[in-house]
């Protein structure tokens, strides 16, 4: 006897074999952006790539701002010697700017960077939760 014949009830017995749901069928699930990211699917990779692009763009902007600030001051003093030779309260202006004024600006830029990076992540989370 073949296995399929063994599963059939004998003719005329009136019995019916009842089985559970098909276990080979995949359960239906709602596809969300978070599940796509977790599954590392192509769509999830697009979501992650968009977050990485936004964070990279922000980092490049901050690096350019810091580069202009830190490299721009010595360039300013070399191009305009009168500014470089000025003094305030008996201290040369370049020393004041490079020694003291730059640090509060760097802290401010760092603070703005952290806020913008957190905003990018918050926007990404909102997009993932909405979809």
- In whole angstroms, give the CA distance from residue 21 to residue 9: 20
Tokens for 68, please give them: 């202009």
pLDDT at residue 5, as a whole number: 62
Q: What pLDDT shows up at residue 110? A: 95
Q: What is d(CA 130, CA 74) in angstroms, rounded to the nearest whole number?
A: 49
Contact assessment for residue 74 and residue 67, using Cβ atoms and an 8 Å cutoff: no
Residues in the chain: 131
pLDDT of res. 113? 96
Per-residue pLDDT of the chain (131 residues; tens, 9 = 90+): 565 666 665 666 677 777 776 666 565 566 566 666 666 777 778 878 888 999 999 999 999 999 998 888 888 888 888 888 888 888 888 888 888 888 999 999 999 999 999 999 998 888 877 77
Query: Minimal CA–CA distance to 71: which of 93, 102, 112?
Result: 102
pTM: 0.64
Q: How far apart are CA 43 and CA 53, in angstroms?
A: 15
């Amino acid at each position: 006897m073949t296995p399929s014949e063994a599963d059939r009830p004998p003719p005329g017995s009136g019995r019916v074999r009842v089985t559970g749901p098909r276990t080979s069928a995949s359960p239906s699930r709602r596809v969300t952006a978070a599940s796509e990211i977790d599954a590392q699917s192509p769509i999830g990779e697009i979501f992650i790539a968009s977050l990485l692009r936004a964070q990279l763009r922000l980092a490049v902007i901050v690096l350019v701002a810091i580069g202009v600030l830190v490299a721009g001051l010595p360039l300013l003093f070399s191009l305009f010697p009168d500014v470089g030779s000025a003094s305030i309260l008996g201290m040369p202006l370049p020393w004041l700017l490079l020694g003291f004024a730059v640090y509060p600006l760097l802290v401010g830029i760092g603070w703005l960077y952290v806020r913008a990076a957190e905003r990018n992540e918050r926007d990404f989370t909102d997009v993932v939760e909405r979809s």
